[in-house]
Chain A
Amino acid sequence: MKILIVDDFSTMRRIIKNLLRDLGFNNTEEADDGNTGLPKLQTGNFDFLVTDWNMPGMTGIDLLRAVRADDKLKTLPVLMVTAEAKKEQIVMAAQEGVNGYIVKPFTAQTLKEKIDKIFERIENA
């Protein structure tokens, strides 16, 4: 399981990376926005994407759109971890095809639950 973590704050990337390691996901890579993240996704054989929303350069929602528009990436599970908590934004992310949505600040337990749920749904599909 190879996971890409996209967030403009390196502290948050480290937190997510460490939490994922605790959950048994050791193979992670990082990018600081959509512009650096998308090329990695296109060439890196990733199985999962965790992304922030508000980033300079390419935002998380644009990255999600780019992923869904890319033939090779369109089925990639995407989990959004962001401080944006407005209803219309969550609805927008859902419409663009996000698989899970976590608002910051979050707990390790929440991250585990959401990831489990995403994989559960993929297996049942």
Chain B
Amino acid sequence: MESTPINRDLLLEKAQLLISSLESAQTSDDQLEAQIDEINSLKDNHLFQELGKMTREIHDSITKFRMDSRISDLAETDIPDAKDRLEYVITMTEKAANTVMSVIEESSPVAEKLGAEASVLKAQWQKFRRRELSADELRAMGNDVESFFDESDLMMSKLLSGFTEILMAQDFQDLTGQIIRQVINLVNEIENNLVELIKIQGENQVKDTSQEETRQEETKLEGPQVPGKETSGDVMKGQDDVDDLLASLGF
């Protein structure tokens, strides 16, 4: 910070006056004291001016900081928006977890039933091998085997479709990952602005560069659509909308 120079001419004039007063025997102590006070006040005045200048600079910096519309955007729009997006992440991860657990709950009895029927057949088969089965029992076993084959086809396809459902439920990782990345970028931006604020307080010097750096507009990709969030422009609500649009384009 630059300091205001002391008014040397004025100081010299006052000093010379003080010296001549000192040399003169007629000067009273009171008069001398008054002159010294006057010289002192020159210094106080200088300090006061410095303080004034500093206060003005701080005031300007803070006003400028407040006027930066990006900061009010952050507070009014981006942060609430990020909260909603994070809520959506919770919803999606919860949904994925529930889907997987439901499939497991539905599939386990199917697998258990398959195993149980197989062990009943195995017991019958062993009896047959030991030649302990009557002709009627043999016929019954034949029927059991046949219905087991039919049923196992059904059960297997049920299990496989469950696997597909579990697989699809993992798509939350991609979508929540994209959303969390957006929020990380926002947190970075807030951090930069806070650093700027600390700079203003600390050294009372504002550099204008950071805002430009943090806010670079590309062809902006919106990422996953969050229900209830209005993004700019026309947004398709789902695959059906996309299909309609593409059909209108001749697809």
A residues whose Cβ falls under 8 Å from a Cβ of B: 7, 9, 11-12, 14-15, 18-19, 22, 53-54, 59, 83-91, 94, 100-108, 110
Contacts and interface: CB of A to CB of B under 8 A. Distances in A.
Contacts of B238: 103
Nearest to B173: A11
B170 A86 contact: no
B224 A88 contact: no
Interface stretch (B127-135, B189-197, B227-235): B227-235
Interface residues of B, number: 30
B85 to A, nearest CB: 12
B250 to A, nearest CB: 8
Contacts, number: 91
B60 to A, nearest CB: 40
Contacts of B241: 85
Interface string B214-251: 00000001111100000101111111011001100101
Given A87-B245, A88-B233, A101-B242, A11 B174 contact: yes
A22 B178 CA distance: 27
Given A87-B245, A94-B249, A103 B236 contact: yes
Contacts of B225: 83, 85, 103
B235 A15 contact: no
Contacts of B239: 102-103, 106, 110
A34 to B, nearest CB: 14
Nearest to A117: B251
